[in-house]
A and B are shown apart, each in its own frame.
Chain A
């Protein structure tokens, strides 16, 4: 099976080395954000517990499912190009972009509800963290989608094949980082109390 994970692993990092330094820096920033949220919560436990209940957990969970599935589609795209199946790679990349678009739509619905209720960064400490953390991540989803779209266009132009697909792996690595961050953000902000 082409998608099977076996004991034979690559020795090199997938994709361009530069993206891994970028990913590391991004993770550091998000990590500091997460810990700051958790520390600030200690001083405002009642407020955080109260306003966390106003968040839409259903949309948060749906967005998690969308991002995980989108990441899975990107894995399929990488596996396809390694088998020189360019058309399949393009198909999976656009499917992943669909997942990202779904995330943006659901998140926009969530923001619309909050903003129409008069909630802003200045409402209280909890909403300041909720809005800034999720908006920061929202921007990363957009950037990740732009990268995946650029990779899909290059794939359509025949720039990638089984021998040369560093660009696909690079875009995939960044998209997985966006997923990884949300995997922590969702339970931290929406669920754990």
Chain B
């Protein structure tokens, strides 16, 4: 199977996503769209860490549910509280 991406690419993408998060904060981007974009960016980076750095891709479904479930629950709960307050 041809490797279409690798760990170096993932590191680079995560660095760029971090810089985009900082840039959005620096320009004072706020509101529903901002919360969605910033949390989605964090969630994408979280998926990269769980799947590719921790190497949980292909392990038992239970552990994947636990790890991705934690990430999803935390991001969703944060999003809900911010949407309530906007």
**Docked-complex contact B7 and A3, CB < 8 angstroms:** yes
Distance A55 CA – B20 CA, assembled complex (angstroms): 18
Interface of B is mostly: helix
In the complex, identify which listed stretch (A37-45, A110-118, A141-149, A153-161) lies at the interface while the others stay far away: A37-45
Q: In residues 13-54 of chain B, which contact A (Cβ within 8 Å)?
A: 14-15, 18-19, 21-22, 24-26, 30, 34-35, 38-39, 41-42, 45-46, 49-50, 52-54
What is the chain A residue whose CB lies nearest that of B50?
A: A180
Pick from B1, B18, B67, B71: contact of A64, CB under 8 Å: B18
Chain B residues, CB < 8 A from A20: 63
A119 to chain B, nearest CB (A): 20
Distance A141 CA – B55 CA, assembled complex (angstroms): 20
**Docked-complex contact B21 and A186, CB < 8 angstroms:** yes
Tell me if A18 is interfacial: C-beta within 8 Å of chain B: no
**Docked-complex contact B84 and A42, CB < 8 angstroms:** yes
Chain A residues, CB < 8 A from B26: 57
Chain A residues, CB < 8 A from B75: 184
Chain A residues, CB < 8 A from B66: 24
A14-B55 in contact given A68-B14, A75-B7 (Cβ < 8 Å):
yes
B56 to chain A, nearest CB (A): 7
Chain B residues, CB < 8 A from A24: 66, 70
Distance A70 CA – B77 CA, assembled complex (angstroms): 28
**Docked-complex contact B85 and A42, CB < 8 angstroms:** yes
**Docked-complex contact B74 and A34, CB < 8 angstroms:** yes
Q: In residues 156-184 of chain A, which contact B (Cβ within 8 Å)?
A: 173, 176-177, 179-180, 183-184
Q: Which 8 A-B pairs have the closest CB atoms?
A: A9-B58, A4-B3, A191-B25, A61-B22, A38-B81, A72-B11, A7-B1, A176-B53
- 18 A–B pairs (Cβ distance < 8 Å), ordered by A: A10-B55, A12-B59, A14-B55, A24-B70, A31-B74, A35-B81, A41-B81, A42-B85, A58-B22, A61-B22, A68-B11, A69-B11, A72-B11, A75-B53, A180-B49, A180-B54, A184-B46, A186-B21
